[in-house]
Structure 1
Amino acid sequence: METAVRLAEQYRGGKLENIHFGHVCGVDEHGQVVYRAGDPEWPAYMRSAAKPFQAIPAFVHGTPEAFGLTGKEKTLMTASHRAEPYQVEALEAMMAKIGLGEEQLICSRSHPLSPSARDEMLLAHKPKRRLYHNCSGKHMGILAYSKLRGYPLESYGEPHHPAQAEVLDTIAYMADYPKEHIHVGIDGCGFPVHALPIKHIARMFLKLACSDLIADEAVGRAAGDIGRLMNEHAEMVSAPWFICSILLKDPNIVAKGGAKGVYGFALRKERIGFALKVLDGSEDAWPTVIASILEQIGYSNPDTIERLYALAPKEIRNDGGAVVGENQAVFKLTSNQ
């Protein structure tokens, strides 16, 4: 905590009410830290920010094509979906094509994360489903890959499973970080989850955005396809009202967040990758912090920045619409360029 910086603050009636501490790191195509606030070496669990990379082995071996998945269905392999009706329709089609039963998913039965979808389900007294879990697309992707490769299906979420071992190898490769130094825990959905320094997470996202940086041709093609699909079908990655899909509307950006405040994104034209960790685990600070990063580096697309501020306005209003406070980023990036 002693190396963290204040990233964002909220004021109410002129008095400081909340502080979000954390770390930000930006790297260039050589893997060098070019922007920082806090500690680039801070280790963070990637959580769902790892999903695009967890999908790479399946893409390398042609799993989506083997099961005839559409572009939208492929994108769900990278997604933290909100179980919007259009997403559930695609997930059900995906499950049928792969030949899975919903009970084969180890993620828990859940309500949709979409408030409207959840309310509709509750009003209709419909039960929770594993398909509604925001990680179900990732799980089906690994199950499809395991089925294609002849790997066991029952243990697909275990760290020792061959598909999970390949995911760990892929994360180490994309991060340019020794596999033996990656700390492995268990995520909320039951999958292995990987912790590594945020500068290496930033490196991963830069490679996802600029796949020409990847020496392995098959991995490079897979990463390029995944990044392209995330932009083309941004609405599948989270939802049109959530930060990931909003950032992915910008074709220059590849982005994905994870639970407990971790976020990664990269800029294709500028060839810079960023990762950040909000130490209190808040996702509320993401739009403010990322908008400030883009402003501080002079990003050329103001529409993207405006969309972020629409998610987290600088003015804090009460339920009646009156301005009662302000929300602001307070960190300054140190540039090594």
Structure 2
Amino acid sequence: MVPTSPCLSVVRRSGLVESAHRGSLVVVRDGVVVFACGDPDSWVYCRSAVKPVQALPLIERGIAERLGLTAQELALVAASHNGTELHTELAMRLLERGGFTPDDLRCGPHSPFDRQAGIRIARGGAKPERIHNNCSGKHAGFLLLAQDMG
């Protein structure tokens, strides 16, 4: 993003500007730019913002329907999570649907972003595992996709 990129969004709280977000956007139809704001040729690093797109093949290939994935499970594939008990249970269910275990994940372990979940792990004398990684849901989805692709 170029420092002179236009302001795309302003967040106000109690009438005051809390933050302003600059960027560029482009709308393309049939390979033709029909609208652009800022520099449509600038490079971007999407990070987790691309997770919903990475989850699409599970739907498009019929994997989600065949495996009976729930809305919560699909949401976990399409997002980062905080490592709460609910999140890790959902990630485990995704893995189990394909016959996988947390050992099959290639994302490294880190403490849950949810403070209370991290405290529970530490108090139990355990260490964070791969399933607590904020990307474990996405990686579980990748495993299901890879399995489907053979």
- TM-score tier, shorter chain, comes to 0.7 to 0.9
Task: Note the C-alpha offset of 1:23.
Answer: 4.2
Partner of 2:81: 81
Note the aligned Cα RMSD (angstroms): 2.6
Q: Which structure carries more strand by proportion? A: 1
Q: Percent identity?
A: 29
Q: Does residue 1:24 correspond to 2:23, yes or no? A: yes
Q: Does residue 1:44 correspond to 2:44, yes or no? A: yes
Tell me if structure 2 keeps the 8 A contact 1:108–1:130. Answer: yes
Task: Note the C-alpha offset of 1:61.
Answer: 0.8
**C-alpha separation in 1, matches of 2:40 and 2:139:** 31
Task: Note the C-alpha offset of 1:58.
Answer: 2.3
Q: Mark the runs of 5 or more structure 2 residues left unpaired by the alignment.
A: 8-18
Give the 3 Å change call, closer, same or farther, for CA 21–90 of structure 1 in structure 2: closer
How does the TM-score come out when normalised to structure 2? 0.76
Task: Note the C-alpha offset of 1:149.
Answer: 2.2
Bigger relative contact order, structure 1 or 2 (CA pairs below 8 A, ≥6 apart): 1
Partner of 1:105: 105
Partner of 1:72: 72
Show the 5 A alignment for 1:136-147: 136-147=136-147
Task: Note the C-alpha offset of 1:27.
Answer: 3.9
Matched pairs, number: 134
**C-alpha separation in 2, matches of 1:48 and 1:132:** 16
Show the 5 A alignment for 1:214-229: none
Partner of 2:115: 115
Tell me if structure 1 keeps the 8 A contact 2:63–2:148. Answer: yes
- Which amino acid is the alignment partner of residue 119 of structure 2? D
The DSSP-based 3-state class of the residue aligned with 2:23 is strand
**C-alpha separation in 2, matches of 1:21 and 1:40:** 20
Q: Mark the runs of 5 or more structure 1 residues left unpaired by the alignment.
A: 8-19, 151-337
Task: Note the C-alpha offset of 1:116.
Answer: 2.1
